[in-house]
Amino acid sequence: MTTLSEKPSAPSTRQVSKRVSQSVFDGSRLRVVLLVDVHDGAQQQFLEAYEQLCNQVAQVPGHVSDQLCQSIENPSQWLITSEWESAPPFLTWVNSEEHVRMVEPLHSCVRDTRSLRFHVVRETGGAAARSAGRRRLQASPRIGDGVIRHALTFTVRPGSEAEVKRILADYASPRARVDETTRLCRTSLFMHGNRVVRAIEVRGDLLAALRHVARQPEVRAVEEAINPYLEQERDLNDQESARVFFTRAALPAVHHVTADELTEGERLARYYPARPGSGMRLAELLAQRDEAAADDPGSPVLRSTIFQRDDVVVRLLDVRPGLGAPPEPGHPAGLEALLDGEPVGMDLVTDRRSPDA
């Protein structure tokens, strides 16, 4: 498991390839915004829980500062902003079991939360302007394709893999349109051993899409069907149980690169077993390799997304049709020391695309 003492490579702002539309590895500062809706009458309880939490967060490596703000229009609405030296130390903390325990006192007084994460691109005015040279900023804005990529991962009980694969392959697709601005584009589901990875692509609001999917009866039926086989028990009818499960299951995209060619590719996934505490650094080295491959016209890889949480690292690939999985090239310097075994291809269970995605 990743620990809070893990140290990704020393942050230093570098020019990222224009083919990279998403990356947490450029060394720029991170601004995290948490919108919080507090239960009526629970403001003092929330404030006390926050003060206890912020004292703990101040000791986390990479944390710079935070602010707590209360709405001048609605006292139930609060805003927490924090600044971090770069994205990797924040992600290491927010995806840790320690974070799950830290925030537990907040949940009894909070109705809803929404977390937003931003790299700092520009700063103006006063002390910020004077210190800009010492504060690492994202070098230039990234140009994406309007698609948000996210994944969930969980494990099932050994021996149940075949039945779980059957259940996950045999269900009706949920309605793609979420609302006027959000729609599901693609869902790809893979398994390796007893690990399941579900990668989703969304246009619009990711949180709205995830909530939409969770409410669909066909998806609810599948989730209930696999419940007896999960290694981590959950009760989807219990809000706290469901929240903890999906918090632990979240597998964020940390890097995405696209080659110039827009050919439709064959979808593959590889699982990289990381040594304890090495997941973030392993993902960073894979990201550097994918950037180099995107500049190579002979590379079979059209698109690559790296997902990472703790020591789970998954590389989702779209490759030129008919070529199959690209061979693993020689390991970049330092990669072998981070691996706890050879990279392996995951079995594709289902790959579903919205007709007008």
What are the φ/ψ torsions at residue 110 (nearest 5 degrees)?
-110, 130
Question: Is beta strand 20-23 parallel, antiparallel or unpaired with respect to 250-258?
Answer: antiparallel
Which pLDDT score is estimated for 301? Answer: 85
Write down the mean pLDDT value for the chain: 86
Three-state DSSP class for residue 30: strand
Rounded Cα distance between 157 and 220, Å, is: 20
For residue 228 the two structure tokens come to 């007896």
Which pLDDT band, with edges at 50, 70 and 90, does 297 fall under? confident
Residue 15 has pLDDT above 90, yes or no: no
Q: Give one DSSP letter per residue of 317-336, joined into a string.
A: EEE-TTS-SPPPPPPPTTTG
User: Which residues have C-beta within 8 Å of that of residue 134, sequence separation ≥ 6?
Assistant: none
Residues 181-210 as b or e (16 or more Cβ within 10 Å = b): ebbbbbbbbbbbebbbbbbbbbbbbebebb
For residue 220 the two structure tokens come to 């609810």
In the chain, the percentage of residues whose pLDDT exceeds 70 is 88
pTM of the model: 0.87
pLDDT digits (tens, 9 = 90+) for 127-140: 655 454 456 888 78
For residue 25 the two structure tokens come to 């590895």
* Mean pLDDT value of segment 143-166: 93
The secondary structure of 134-159, three-state, reads HCCCCCCCCCCCCEEEEEEEEEECCC
